[in-house]
Each structure stands twice: as structure tokens, then as C-alpha cells.
Structure 1
Amino acid sequence: MDAADAVTELAQALPAGVVATEPDVVEKYRHDWTHDARAGMPLAAVRAESAEHVQETLRWATRHGIGVVPRGAGTSLSGGSMGVEGAVVLSLERMRAVEVDVAARVAVVEPGALNVEVKRAAAAHGLWYPPDPSSFEICSIGGNIATNAGGLCCVKYGVTTDYVLGLDVVLADGTLLTLGGPRVKDVAGLSLLKLFVGSEGTLGVVTRAVLRLVPAQAPRSTVVAFFPTVAAAAAAVVELGRTVRASMVELMDRASVNAVEDFQPMGLDRDAGALLLIQSDAPGPSRAEEVEVIVTACEVSGAKEVVATDDPEEAEMFVQARRAHFTALEQRGAVLPEDVGVPVPHLPALLAELEAIAQRHAVEIPVVAHAGDGNTHPAIVYDPTDHDAERRARLAFDDVMHAAIRLGGTITGEHGVGRLKAGCLEHQLGPEVMALNRRVKAALDPDGILNPGSFV
């Protein structure tokens, strides 16, 4: 049976409107947020509406040896959900249910639900879902689980895996597993639940998640510090890590500040070498004490201006400036987004390496960072019509990853490996660990149909 006949068979097995083959519809599922020109054209887009649809699709794919690219909202920044030639895209965007169990303090969520929808549902009951990617308004919970997403609050509150208590996962052969549940403690058997968090759709497809909720975040105080150099800001981050447990420590370098100001003017200091956006949500009077320590650490590290505020609206303006970074850069050209991290004491060295790489390859690399946990987001901007500029950008992309590895870091802190970084993964893990990754993959997906070409 040829591929077209196989897709017809799948369309007949699923309800009308679930399988799309029209070129203009399928094209919408070809690219993720990387907009990588190497994305392939899928055979079809399967827009599942239930776990049963996912099971049927994967049984069909295994039977015909056809690859399946699981996809949430398509906001991947590592090429993990872009189309693959000869495969189908399995979109979970229609599976959006969210239910909050207040007594158990959990949210039971389908994978297509957006991060912001879970936050709102929790907030209606005085609860909070902390994982907070910059794209929280448009990224899906399924994608967050696939990449173990973090975000602006993770320096204090952790990342997605810290809030996943249970998962329903469909394996490549269509088997539906239920792992974990609304329990805080559970050590029965191997920790298979955590195996699927961060696996980028290569081991199974999540169809339901049980997420831990916590009490609403306390009021916050915000400190914004402007530094003459990135090095001085990085030194302040290291100093802060020794003295306080801030709930947010974000960095923007001069290029990022200016990109945001060009895109959405907010009155930020264009001449500053870098700014730090720091928040404290310490309880009661201790918050004022923590803010005082933060201000002092910034001043001692060379900040030329430090502003502290308790005004939520003023604070939100600075947070929105940080979140606008990637959208602002897209106005300047094509973007190769990076996501490398190092131990916090090595953050100054990594930022210095990034400046050197930009100079060496004559490319622009604006940097923002979840600086408090050493996770940086350098973004290599280039003219997509200039082939030499693209060549230099891709060389810089590889150099950034190798620099992070040399400093004891990682090629990805929260975006995932996807397809853009697959070639560098073994350099970080080493051959023995890489081989073990492949053995796990082969055990759960022996025909290699799940997210082909993505990291393993």
C-alpha cells in the first residue's frame, strides 16, 4: 500500500475532519517557531480529539512504518515539532480540557491546553501553576511536558517535571499507559513518569497530565538594575546566588534591550550594557529585607542605577519587556534560537564566550537569560537572503553549544534538543550515555516512528 492509500485508510478509521490532507491545511503544521527552511512537508495532519484517536493513529503508523511528529501549539524553539517528509503530524491542539481538583490541589489537563489556561483555572481557586515560559500565553502543556519547560520563575519554583504527578501516555504500538496520579509521594516501581517528561515525543504521546498546584504566589517586590557591562551583571547574579533566594533573576543585554525598545518602546536604558530584573516574594517583612540585600549586591557589583518597586503594574511592564525579546528579534531577521546553560558560577565565562563567538563569526547574538539558574537564550540573528550570513550563523550556533559543554553546561536547559541540536547531543552526553538513550528509545519505539530525527 502506498502512502496516499495508507492515509486514506487512517482518514476512514477516524471521524470526519480529524485527518487533513489539503495542502493549504497541512502547510500550517509544517513549521514550528524556528521557521527552519529544512522542515519537510507532512503527508497529513491528524488533529486528535481524544486518547482513542491517538491510539488509532499510532497503531496505524506502526502497521505502515510511517513516522509521527507529535505537536502541541507549535511553539518549539528547537525544531522538535516541525514537519518531516513522509511522516504525519499528530496535533493535540483540540484536546484542551482542564479540571481543577481543589481538595487534591491538582489540575487534570489534556495536552493541548495552553499554559495560561491552566494558570487561569488554578487562579480561580486561589491556586497557582508555577512553570512560566516566556511564551506561556501561546504554548501548550503537552509541549511543556515534552521539553520539561521552565521559565521566569524556575529559579525558585522549579521546572515542569517538579509539577507533573501523573501522565497518560500512548506508546508507539498504541498501548495506553497510566503513570502516577494525584499523589505527592509514590515510589512504586521505576520512575517511568519522569522518563517521559522531557522526552520530546520520542518515547510516547501524552494524552493527559495530572499537575501539582500550589497556593497563590505572595505579593512581589521588583528590582531593576542597569549595569555598564554584561560581565558586571553576571557577577551580580553570582553574588545574589550566595545571599538570597529570589523568585526571578532575568538578564537582558544591550542588544536585547534595544531590540525590545525598537519593537515596543518601554523607556528602558538603551545605553546600559545589561539589565537585571529581579523579584522577591519572600513573606511579610522579610521581603523588604531581601530587597535590601538584592539592591546592595547589585550596587557592589557595579550597577549604575538600581530601582526597586512594589507597584505590580510597573513591575509587569519590565516583565513584559523581557517576554517580548524573541518576538522583537523576529522583526530584525531570521533567528536561530539557543538555549544553553551552565552552572551559575560559570555564567560570566559563558557570556564572555558568547560575545567572542559573535565577533568571530560577524553575527549579532542578543542574549537574554534566566540568569539565576545559569540558563541563557542567545539568539543568532541573520539576513535570510544572505547565504553567507546564514552559514556564519550556523557556525556560531554550533560554537555556542560547544562553549556551554566546555564550561560543564548543557546544550539545552528547557527548549529541548529537537532537530536543530541533535548533532551535538552526543558531545554533551558521551557515547555510553548516548547509547543508553538509544536503547531506551528502541525498547519503547522499536520501529523508530515517534518524532523521527529528533535527538535520539
Structure 2
Amino acid sequence: MEVIDDPDVLASLSHDEAEWAPYGKALGAVRPRTTAEVREVVRHCAERGIPIVPRGAGTGLSGGANAVDGAMILDLSRMDRIVAIDADNMTATVQPGVINDDLKKAVAEHGLWYPPDPASAPWSTIGGNVSTNAGGLCCLKYGVTRDYVLGLEAVVGGAAGAYGTAVRLGRRTTKGVSGYDLVGLFTGSEGTFGVLTEITVRLRPARREAPKTVVGAFGSVVAAGEAVAAITRAGLLPAALELLDRTCLRAVEEWKHLGLEADAAALLLAQLDTPGDEEATAVASVFRDAGALWAEQSTDEVEAEALFAARRLAYPALERLGPVLTEDVCVPRSRVPEMLAVIEETAARHGTTIATIAHAGDGNLHPLILAPAGDEAAKRAAQAAFEDMLTAAIAMGGTVTGEHGVGLLKRAGMRRELSPEVLAMQIAIKQTLDPLNLFNPGKVVG
């Protein structure tokens, strides 16, 4: 087990990628490789009252992996072993530090597929994905991380026994309702109940043919939102339905030179994996009927891949321009056009630049608020716009976080979203599972 006390390395491990989320000065950091080493660290920290902050790749966008003063950082990136791939039962068991894309590549060799695909899949870990219940491009049709987690091993304390106790939750079977769904409870808990040390996920057969891509260009982001609502009304279910506005497209093109046309106000990218051309033709027709400037099925796989690469690269491309405060509000699909209009109005009212990408098909929007480095007035405007968009999403029957997690940035928003009774239930669960408040304190419920 590697122990880290170098101040510069500790500083780099003390926060994720959430802009302006506060973080404290950690006491130290360790990089365990086994469950036994995690148990030892947790036991020693509990004996000394030292807070424990689990961390994966640090790609989070809510401050969920940020250190508190005096904390011990548990960097799980060295726990990166794929323990087993069970092709007969279509499951894989991995340590938490396995990179999402590495798992995809490994199971593909067995003719299998792991669908959850956050934009950070080339860098983010399965443990981090489970901790935030990450979604991604394919979640519209294939679901989010929680839909694939069958079992967990976690090092816990509290109701389970002494701190440092390892427990196995869930199952390896397709069905199972023995007791409460503790796997579902831990998935999305952001490390506040314990430290995940092993994860068993369900897999699907690999897709037999390359997905088709339909692209629609629109004169406004609201018009693109109307097309999203029309897709839902038509009963169509793409594997992915993504939105990129002009600001995102131009930022990616200036950085990577993919040959993208960035003249339209917004593009919708639909990916279809149903055999035949009927579904793709129907989606293109809906785009045109909804007012698309043009809508075409891509016949060039290189072009189609470039478009989805642009979607994945949008955040780092914008980050190159200066600090980016990232939202992930989610609203009912029928309210997507309205929420897109609110985003434009919010940007105008606060004098901020907001670029928008979205998992538009499931109502999960990612407005990215840009502010020049060192400009305090722009920072305050960005933060005010951030909170206004949370309030708007709640008013539409939505949520303040679709997949990034509450962490630090969304705590106030979560308290506005949830009733006092529900908040009390959540606090009671935290106190039962972690009575010493050692696991990732200050996050989610505080």
C-alpha cells in the first residue's frame, strides 16, 4: 500500500473537477490495492476519528471527492483489476479503479457489452460511476449504472459492526428480492456509507451491427427541444439522443479540427441500433416535421463517429477557454423545450455565456457556464445563474442532478427539491450506517 504525504500530490488528490467547489487540507493519502488494505485504513481512521474521503479518477463535477480538513484520502485508482468475466451468466466483477472503457473493451472480447457510457468513460472509474449512479449517452434506451449493478463489496461500519468490516451486498443472479435493496441504496451514495472495493455488474450481448446516426440541424436550441418532445410523442426510442449547441460545436472544432459544421444554432444526434432503416427514417422525418433546417442519416461511419466524439469532447473543449461551472439538471422530457428557453433567458439576465449539451432524450441537460479566470464578477454571475437553473428545474417537476451527484455543489438545491420529511429519512440512514460521520463527511446530506 502506497502512502502519500507530498504536499503537491496531496493537493492534486484533494479535489475533483467541480469548479469553485471548496476543499480542505488532507492529512494524507493512501493507495490500497486490496480489500484487506482498505479495511486496515478504515479501522485505523475510525480509532483516531480521521475522516475518510474515497476517490477514483477525480473526474467528478460536483465536489463529491473533495477533501475536508484533516481527512485521509483513499485513492482507489490502484485497485484496477478485472476480477472475473462470466460469459455464461453475462456478468463481470471488477475492483473500483477499473476504467469504464477498459471494462467495455475486456467484455467485448467475449461478445458482451457494458452499456453505461458517461462522456468521461475513457477516464472515469467504475467505482466512481457507481458512487454517482452515472448515466451517459446510451441511458435513454439502456438505463443508468444502477440498472447494471448486481452486487457490491464494501468496507463499512455502524449498523454492520466495527468500522473496517467488509460486507457483500446484492447477488449474482438475474433476480433476487431477499431483503431490502442495499445495492441500490449504496449506488449513488457518493462514498458516504462506506468504501466500495468490488463491484459485480450485469452485461448485455454485444450489438450485432453498427448503430445508425441521424443528424438534425436547428435554427434555435428551443426548436431542437421541440424535436426531442416530438420524438417521444412519436413513440420512438433511439439508443442515444444528444444535443449540442453552436458554442459547444465551435469549441470542439477549434480544438480538434474534426471538420464539423458549426453554423446551426443546435444539432441533435440520434443513434439507432434497431435492425433495418425504418427507425432511422422515422427519426429524420420527425426532425424535419419539427422544423429542422436539415436532417439526414449519416452514411459515413467516420463522420458519425466525429459527431459523437464532439459530444464527448465538448466539456474539455470548453474548459480550455476558462473555468466552467457545469449543471446536470433533469426535467420531464415534455419540458425540455421550456428548460432550454429558461437557460437562454438565464444567460441573458445574468450576462453570462452558457453553452449547452444534453442527453436530450431523457431530459438531462448540461448547461456549461463559462467565466473568465480571475473575474470575480463573472464568477458571482455564474454561480447565481447556476442556482436559478436549479430552481427552474425543480419548478418543472425535475431534479437538481441527473447523474453528476449532489456532492458539495448541489446540497442547497437538493434541500429545495426534497421535502423535510424525506431529508430527515436520508439523514437517519446516514447516521445508522455511519454514526461517526467518517465516510465522506459534508457531502450530500452534510
**Deviation of the 1:218 alpha carbon:** 3.4
Partner of 2:43: 59
Deviation digits for residues 92-116 of structure 1 (CA, Å, limit 9, x no counterpart): 1000111211111111100000001
Identify if the C-alpha distance between structure 1 residues 135 and 79 changes in structure 2 by more than 3 Å, giving closer, same or farther: same
Partner of 1:10: none
Q: Alignment partner for residue 225 of structure 1, among 212, 216, 219?
A: 216
Give the TM-score of the pair, scaled to structure 2.
0.96
Partner of 1:437: 426
Partner of 1:49: 33
**Deviation of the 1:281 alpha carbon:** 0.2
Give the TM-score of the pair, scaled to structure 1.
0.94
- Output the CA distance in 2 between the equivalents of 1:383 and 1:210: 43
**Deviation of the 1:59 alpha carbon:** 1.4
**Deviation of the 1:35 alpha carbon:** 4.7
Partner of 2:444: 455
**Deviation of the 1:404 alpha carbon:** 0.6
**Deviation of the 1:314 alpha carbon:** 2.1
Does 2:73 correspond to 1:89? yes
Partner of 1:350: 339
Describe the SS at the equivalent of 1:378: strand
Partner of 1:154: 139
Deviation digits for residues 403-456 of structure 1 (CA, Å, limit 9, x no counterpart): 110111011000101111112211111111111100000000001111111111
- Output the CA distance in 1 between the equivalents of 2:109 and 2:21: 42
Partner of 1:190: 180
Deviation digits for residues 376-425 of structure 1 (CA, Å, limit 9, x no counterpart): 11111101211111111111111111111011101100010111111221
- Output the CA distance in 2 between the equivalents of 1:414 and 1:218: 28
Deviation digits for residues 245-299 of structure 1 (CA, Å, limit 9, x no counterpart): 111100011221222222222233322111000011002x3xx110111011000
Partner of 1:403: 392
- Output the CA distance in 1 between the equivalents of 2:23 and 2:217: 40
**Deviation of the 1:37 alpha carbon:** 6.2
Please, which runs of 5 or more residues in structure 1 have no aligned partner?
1-14
Q: Alignment partner for residue 379 of structure 2, among 375, 385, 390?
A: 390
Does 2:89 correspond to 1:107? no
Describe the SS at the equivalent of 2:77: coil
Q: Alignment partner for residue 250 of structure 1, among 233, 242, 247?
A: 242
- Output the CA distance in 1 between the equivalents of 2:182 and 2:68: 28
Describe the SS at the equivalent of 2:154: strand
Deviation digits for residues 311-332 of structure 1 (CA, Å, limit 9, x no counterpart): 3322111110111100011111
Is contact 1:218-1:282 (8 Å) kept? no
- Output the CA distance in 2 between the equivalents of 1:261 and 1:337: 20
Partner of 1:270: 262
Identify if the C-alpha distance between structure 1 residues 37 and 148 changes in structure 2 by more than 3 Å, giving closer, same or farther: closer
Deviation digits for residues 37-83 of structure 1 (CA, Å, limit 9, x no counterpart): 62222111111111111111111222111111110111001111122
Residue identity in the other structure for 1:324 = L
Describe the SS at the equivalent of 1:277: strand
- Output the CA distance in 2 between the equivalents of 1:310 and 1:63: 62
Residue identity in the other structure for 1:301 = A
After superposition, residues 282-431 of structure 1 pair within 5 angstroms as: 282-283=274-275, 285=276, 288-431=277-420
Write out the 4+ residue segments of structure 1 that deviate beyond 4 Å after TM superposition. Answer: none
Partner of 2:160: none
Does 2:185 correspond to 1:201? no
- Output the CA distance in 1 between the equivalents of 2:224 and 2:19: 32
- Tell me the C-alpha RMSD between the 2 structures: 1.2
Describe the SS at the equivalent of 2:404: coil
Is contact 1:71-1:81 (8 Å) kept? yes
**Deviation of the 1:153 alpha carbon:** 0.4
- Output the CA distance in 1 between the equivalents of 2:346 and 2:122: 32
Q: How many residues matched?
A: 437
Please, which runs of 5 or more residues in structure 2 have no aligned partner?
158-162
The percent of aligned pairs where both chains have the same amino acid is 46
**Deviation of the 1:24 alpha carbon:** 2.3
Residue identity in the other structure for 2:75 = S
- Output the CA distance in 1 between the equivalents of 2:388 and 2:249: 24
- Output the CA distance in 2 between the equivalents of 1:207 and 1:290: 41
